[in-house]
Structure 1
């Protein structure tokens, strides 16, 4: 536990507002304590993540979104538009290959699939090697073009594993 920590301040000495992730962490901690107390039959109060907490989180998100729009904050930040450079991709590849293990190869493939195919993490982590194949795209004038094709048999939409 951190004690005697000063509040974060901006350069003009105004306090930095809490971010959504930190607020969510506090709500999760309180909810966890609530469930422990319920299990021990010590708490008869309603669930802490009730309509007031939800309304607070929604209002906080809307205020931050409005503020970002008014201040013309870069909407491409931390999205696909904020892409990796070739050198950064090379460094990432070297990092995964230096692990010299099947886990490193799996993690490298998961990273590339998540980034290039815009897949959800559960879809990427549920993909197996037999579900992947390569396809050479013909009539690409400049150089050969090989595509990695993934047969996705499980995901948010396909919960029954139908092909």
Structure 2
């Protein structure tokens, strides 16, 4: 029981410490937070996403993401545009200044990844990746347990 608490607690502490340090560095080096950098990275892979898709990908609330995008629009990094299909939907597009700062930010992320993995041999790096992928893919089930199957009409 104590080991389970230690793992969960250490993950929380590591996450907070890592992102505080990364935010401090990316703010000093490129003038963006890691969350802003993540928005640019996601848009570089698929530009013009609805803000709801970005919110889901980043696991951020829409109101938090809206404020983040507001600040990025003010810097000219991204722009908002209504959907040509549904004017109620707002799409976010990467602007040229955003592309330029993303290049610099990608170098920072590469350095973070290299520094994180440097103390571990290749075979342990594979295990670390597998562990983190497992957490990301199964977080809800790990924390809340398996989801019971939904009842269909034949089950009544």
TM-score over 0.5 for the alignment? no
Higher helix share: 2
- The two structures have a TM-score, normalised by structure 1, of 0.29
Larger Rg: 1
Question: Which of the pair has the greater relative contact order for Cα pairs under 8 Å at 6+ separation?
Answer: 2
